[in-house]
């Protein structure tokens, strides 16, 4: 993707705000490690927000590129090169509760059944197709529940985000370069340049915001530029068009506030590692996509944690991210979904990483009194 170089000072701030007004939905990438002999430590596309990226500024050459994605499955490589490591990873994934399915049936008190689909916030046609049982459940449902119903209206979403620039931009004249040493500044400059961005253009943005610009491969950006909706957004828009009731479990500001609450240093570290990843990003996305399509959600987090943290601080930062961005939000989603699900005949769709685990949405709904069973 390519975004024109912006000026500095007040002009840069004004141009950067214009960038925010035109953002498409992208995903957050956390801490990434080398993916040659090791797996990537922590790319998270669990949380995709309706940010606003200057799609109008994409070069014509990029706009005309085919939307097909490439990439190799990193787990296939690991199984071939280090079978023992893969076996250990497989065992860890198999121990994750509710980690073998993306589609679930929800029942309670004899009411009409509801259904829960774990989603992936991308425009990949394989993901958009959905399982046949999920398509039927969606068609029959009277109410559709998504993470945030604001995604159905890009203008409304943009206005909500712009109302809180403190969550996306540095204040008091600061920029990301104030928190970088010389080496990381050079890495970030070169990494952004390779993606058609200049550091000056985005320097006033928070690290997680910049990461959202560079966390997806060009093919995904191309599809979004062409107007493709990611799965959750398509479900929300179709629900309104078909006269279904649409409800959200969180607001965009709540989601962004969770990201902004992350400590600054790990954000910067993750951003630098993300831009260093380069073309390997396609391998990461393809690996996660294949895991998702296979319903192997329990493998996703162990895969991203396959590299042991190098320091205690790394481990703390990773745990903090997982707690704030996944686990805490799981509890919010389950609590807010319960009264909606009580009426039955609901189709609920949330990011697939929110489903598995002892504090995943599936298990938390069971604690709310629902019977939740996997649908093959």
- Of 276, 58, 257, 318, the C-alpha closest to 188 is 276
Specify the pLDDT at position 351. Answer: 94
Specify the pLDDT at position 89. Answer: 93
Dist. CA 28–CA 285, nearest whole Å: 12
- Of 233, 197, 237, 234, the C-alpha closest to 215 is 197
Series of mean pLDDT values for 10-residue runs along the chain (376 residues): 30 34 31 27 30 30 52 90 93 96 97 97 90 97 96 83 86 91 93 86 89 78 81 95 97 89 86 81 86 94 66 72 91 98 98 96 98 95
CB atoms within 10 A of CB 265: 12
- Of 248, 214, 189, the C-alpha closest to 51 is 214
Specify the pLDDT at position 68. Answer: 62
Dist. CA 249–CA 353, nearest whole Å: 16
- Integer CA distances (angstroms), 205 to 211, 268, 288, in order: 10, 11, 27
Dist. CA 45–CA 80, nearest whole Å: 26
Here the tokens at position 63 are: 């706009």
Dist. CA 376–CA 373, nearest whole Å: 10
Dist. CA 14–CA 27, nearest whole Å: 24
CB 256 within 8 A of CB 147: no
CB atoms within 10 A of CB 148: 21
- Integer CA distances (angstroms), 87 to 80, 84, 142, 288, 328, in order: 11, 5, 43, 18, 30
Specify the pLDDT at position 215. Answer: 77
pTM, two decimals, is 0.80
Please provide the size of the chain in residues: 376
Dist. CA 56–CA 310, nearest whole Å: 41
């Amino acid at each position: 993707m390519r975004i024109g170089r912006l000026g500095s000072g007040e002009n840069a701030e004004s141009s950067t705000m214009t960038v925010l007004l035109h953002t498409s939905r992208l995903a957050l990438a956390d801490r990434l490690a080398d993916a040659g002999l090791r797996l990537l430590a922590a790319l998270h596309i669990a949380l995709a927000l309706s940010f606003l990226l200057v799609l109008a500024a994409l070069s014509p050459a990029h706009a005309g590129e085919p939307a097909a994605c490439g990439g190799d499955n990193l787990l296939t490589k690991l199984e071939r090169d280090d079978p023992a490591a893969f076996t250990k990873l497989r065992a860890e994934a198999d121990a994750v509760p509710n980690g073998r399915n993306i589609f679930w049936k929800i029942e309670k008190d004899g009411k009409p059944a509801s259904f829960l689909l774990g989603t992936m916030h991308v425009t990949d046609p394989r993901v958009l197709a959905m399982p046949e049982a999920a398509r039927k459940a969606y068609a029959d449902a009277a109410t559709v529940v998504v993470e945030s119903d604001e995604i159905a209206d890009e203008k409304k979403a943009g206005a909500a985000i712009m109302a809180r620039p403190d969550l996306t931009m540095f204040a008091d004249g600061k920029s990301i370069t104030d928190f970088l040493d010389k080496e990381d500044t050079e890495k970030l400059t070169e990494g952004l340049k390779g993606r058609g961005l200049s550091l000056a253009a985005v320097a006033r943005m928070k690290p997680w915001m910049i990461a959202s610009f560079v966390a997806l491969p060009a093919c995904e950006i191309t599809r979004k530029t062409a107007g493709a909706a990611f799965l959750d957004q398509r479900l929300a828009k179709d629900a309104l068009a078909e006269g279904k009731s649409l409800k959200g479990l969180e607001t965009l500001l709540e989601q962004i506030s969770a990201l902004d609450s992350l400590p600054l240093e790990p954000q910067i570290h993750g951003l630098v590692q993300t831009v260093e990843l380069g073309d390997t990003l396609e391998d990461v996305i393809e690996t996660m996509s294949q895991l998702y399509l296979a319903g192997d959600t329990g493998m996703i987090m162990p895969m991203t944690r396959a590299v042991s943290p190098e320091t205690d601080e790394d481990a703390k930062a990773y745990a903090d991210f997982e707690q704030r961005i996944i686990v805490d939000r799981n509890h919010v989603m389950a609590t807010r979904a319960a009264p909606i699900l009580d009426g039955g005949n609901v189709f609920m769709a949330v990011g697939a990483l929110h489903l598995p685990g002892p504090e995943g949405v599936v298990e938390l709904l069971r604690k709310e009194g629902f019977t939740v069973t996997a649908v093959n």
